A = this chain, B = another copy of it.
Amino acid sequence: MDPLLIVSCDCHAGGTPDEYRRHLDPAFRERYDAWLADRAGQDARLAQALGVRLAEIDPGDAGRGERRGPLSNHWNAERRIAVLDADGIAAEVIFPQPAGAGGPPFYPFGQPADPKDPALVAAGCRAWNRWIADFVKNSPAPERHAGLALVGTVADVGAAVREVEWAREAGLRGVVLRSQPFDAPPWNHPRYEPLWAACEALEMPVHTHGGETPEYGDLPGSRSIWFTEVCWFAHRLFWHLLWSGVLERRPRLRLVFTEQFADWVPDLLHQLDALHAGSVAGMTRDAALRLRPSEIWARQCTLGGSFLTRRECERRFAIGVANLMWGSDFPHDEGVWPGTREALHATFDGVPEPELRAILGENALRLYGLDAGRLRPIAARIGPRPQEFAAARGAAA
């Protein structure tokens, strides 16, 4: 049997400060330098926000070690490819790092701070978009990286559309939106129609990635409350575009929900179908959807299941075997690397081969339009064999 072609649907990367500076519009470089000068303060605030020790924050352009750290080892294509090879992963989808840790300048991805200046956010995202496009192009194996474009502000919808068009042209494979448009009306507002039209026409899947919420302040328990709620905010895009009719009207628009757990999907679809059917009396529907919400999910949505657990994998039929991907979350500390193979066995042992192939790679291959012709020989060289997963978990080795 052919080895498995594995795609990690959730990896992170980021440039060095010098690299970002080069990719940043000159008008913003002075502010970037001032931001960099406060780098120690940025790192300390990031460490506090993430709940990690300051020493675990990658120091940026200097001193990058070989150690296992939450944010290390993400900036160098050769080293990334060595990690992918060791993990048995043929290709990866790349999200940015959090800001201040090799992530885009001026973008609060994964941080509670919320810069209120849309021009600044747009410039920071543009620097990321240009950096990741160059990173992929200059990699020794560009076919192994699917870079995603950040659209961190939709205050100017026309500018957001132009960024998506640029990203497609530059070879990026999808768009990352914020969990909600903090500086603009909610996602069900008609003003975003041109953005959905562009993402559909250009076949750019639209992503949310767990990490963003409104601000919580510094109160007892706030950090754990944030952890409890953060994924829910990332889910919201689905039912905003569902009930406002966007997904039904645009059947080729694709949504991807990455690193926000997977266990919630079956109960949510049950709830939405009940609401749609009007089976809870008095809850009349205001969006005249012809399809059931679960049908729209099946047609247009994919769950990017980073460090997917066995418990979540067991719900794969209710989520949709064709609607579930696996991700390593490299190089983050909550991800599976460097224990990737053990983690794969813990989750997938005993799962039949067709389901294994779909979840571990084929769904992502299709969704992102990756180059199967170039990836299959790589998978043949590094991928695990499906029979390695044949033994049911707990059975004799």
- Residues of B within 8 Å of A52, CB to CB, are 282, 284
- 8 Å CB interface, A288-337 against B: 311, 332-334
A72 to chain B, nearest CB (A): 13
B-contact bits for A205-224, CB 8 A (1 contact / 0 none): 00000000000110111111
Partner of A271 from the list B70, B228, B271 (CB cut-off 8 Å) is B228
CA distance A285 to B51 in the complex (A): 8
Q: Judge if A263 is at the interface, Cβ distance under 8 Å.
A: yes
CA distance A185 to B224 in the complex (A): 17
Q: Judge if A186 is at the interface, Cβ distance under 8 Å.
A: yes
Whether the pair A281, B221 counts as a contact (CB closer than 8 A) is no
- Residues of B within 8 Å of A270, CB to CB, are 263, 311
Instruction: Indicate whether A287 sits within 8 Å of B224 (C-beta atoms), given known contacts A188-B219, A264-B267, A334-B282.
Output: yes
- Residues of B within 8 Å of A232, CB to CB, are 232
A contact face: mostly helix, strand, loop, or mixed: loop
Q: Judge if A240 is at the interface, Cβ distance under 8 Å.
A: yes
Q: Name A residues whose Cβ lies closer than 8 Å to a Cβ of B.
A: 50-52, 70, 185-186, 188-190, 216-217, 219-225, 227-229, 232, 236, 239-240, 242-245, 261, 263-264, 267, 270-272, 275, 280-287, 311, 332-334
Whether the pair A51, B267 counts as a contact (CB closer than 8 A) is no
- Residues of B within 8 Å of A275, CB to CB, are 224, 227-228
- Per assembly, the copies of the chain total 2
CA distance A225 to B237 in the complex (A): 10
CA distance A222 to B185 in the complex (A): 12
CA distance A302 to B319 in the complex (A): 29
- Residues of B within 8 Å of A239, CB to CB, are 224-225, 228-229
Partner of A51 from the list B219, B263, B283 (CB cut-off 8 Å) is B283
Smallest CB-CB separation from A186: which chain B residue?
Answer: B219
A297 to chain B, nearest CB (A): 13
CA distance A188 to B224 in the complex (A): 11
Whether the pair A224, B285 counts as a contact (CB closer than 8 A) is yes
Instruction: Indicate whether A243 sits within 8 Å of B224 (C-beta atoms), given known contacts A70-B282, A267-B264, A334-B283.
Output: yes
**A188-B219, A221-B287 given; 20 more Cβ-contact pairs under 8 Å:** A51-B283, A51-B286, A52-B282, A188-B222, A188-B225, A219-B244, A220-B287, A221-B286, A222-B243, A224-B285, A224-B286, A225-B239, A225-B240, A227-B283, A228-B243, A228-B272, A232-B232, A263-B270, A270-B311, A280-B334
